[in-house]
Structure 1
């Protein structure tokens, strides 16, 4: 995957009557996978021995949780946290794409603002602060971080390097992403990948919210 803006339907398009997965290859110890489900398809419930995060990307569908098969609708821009040893499956009538993040580390911290099994709209979790950049850590361990950021108008991040591979996703507004000497416009619903130590900057065009998944290995 080249370093330029992308949507999930570009990197993992929906295929009729099929369910398809593609690893994002951010790191070995934090498996991140994109799933696409064609209309009328499903994935049989299974469980992991660790907490798993699901990020709604495009389209809509239902997650089926627990032994009682409780159904939870997940829409684009929402996050669903599933506790360890909890059965979890998916199905969709119209097609959907989502991201799965497996938290293999036994020791990690998850913000109490997240309620397991309850989808949460990411952009509603963080507020704009006048003249400031706001940060909200949702999940972090020694090998990963998932954080939200809200940029008030006139703020931004000057060029810097990160200690791991990362994917930034625009949640609201738009920004200019500088990466290794080139500028790219990023709009809500689009993502951008940074390689470890890649020089990058964020220049919002007005108010801007984003999520950042960083894998440190």
Structure 2
């Protein structure tokens, strides 16, 4: 998809329905877009592997554990649910989010608290004249990382060894992809394919998350 988009555009809410759509990033890591209409829910279930949730818009209450604790997920939020943990979802007003199911053992940053919602942009800081990186969670088939670009910084054109999605978290940047420039702002997304030539140039300060599926 050679354009800036939002998850809501790909999977808009439909009255009375819960809908899922495969992001088609790969087979070793399951990435799915979900949209839930107001007053809908998904019953508690558990996976045998770690699941990751990234809020796009609206608010969803995630019900974690046998004695459910509500964790509200909104745009730009992160929730990681450990393997074998009951998890359900309900929403009063409607919600759109991304689900990532990690099919292999993973390494998670020690600053991340499983079962608790965290604001992605608050997990990483700007460093003067620099680009900072923070690995959130990953294994040999996927990486989910945060990046903070100080004003005047950027990544020169390069190619990545897998399909990827950028989640813009704060500020704006110019994404160069296969010879065309695109402006991306907080709340928007951009996808590039394996080996696609791309660059990132911050327009002021800019924070983003990157989901890279290595296959």
Fold-level similarity (TM above 0.5): yes
Aligned position for 1:152:
150
Does residue 89 in structure 1 map to residue 55 in structure 2? no
Name the residue aligned to 1:32. Answer: 31
Pairs within 5 Å for 1:26-105: 26-105=25-104
Per-residue deviation, 1:138? 0.5
TM-score by length of 2: 0.99
Task: Give the aligned partner of residue 189 of structure 2.
Answer: 191
In the comparison of the two structures, how many residue pairs are matched? 215
- Root-mean-square deviation over aligned CA pairs: 0.6
1:174-193 residue CA offsets vs partner (Å, 9 max, x unmatched)? 00100000011101000000
**In structure 1, how many angstroms separate the alpha carbons of the residues matched to 2:71 and 2:118?**
11
What is the match of residue 209 of structure 1?
207
Match of 1:15 in 2: 14
Structure 1 residue 163 corresponds to structure 2 residue 141? no
Q: State the TM-score, normalizing by the size of structure 1.
A: 0.98
Aligned-partner Cα distance in 1 for 2:71–2:171: 28
Counterpart in 1 of 2:117? 119
Moved over 6 A (4+): none
- Which runs of 5 or more structure 1 residues have no equivalent in the other structure? none
**Unmatched tracts of structure 2, length 5 or more:** none
Q: What residue number does 1:140 align with?
A: 138
Q: CA deviation at 1:140?
A: 1.6
Q: Whole-Å Cα distance in 1 between the matches of residues 87 and 121 of structure 2?
A: 24
Q: SS at the partner of 2:204?
A: coil
Q: Output the CA distance in 1 between the equivalents of 2:116 and 2:138.
A: 19
Task: Report Cα offsets for 1:75-104 as digits up to 9, x if no partner.
Answer: 111100101111111010100001100011
- The CA distance in 1 between the partners of 2:120 and 2:23, in whole Å, is 20
Shift of 1:8: 1.0
Distance 1:177 1:30 in 2: 25
Q: CA deviation at 1:61?
A: 1.6
**What is the alpha-carbon distance in structure 1 between the residues aligned to residue 176 and residue 71 of structure 2?**
37
Higher fraction of strand? 2
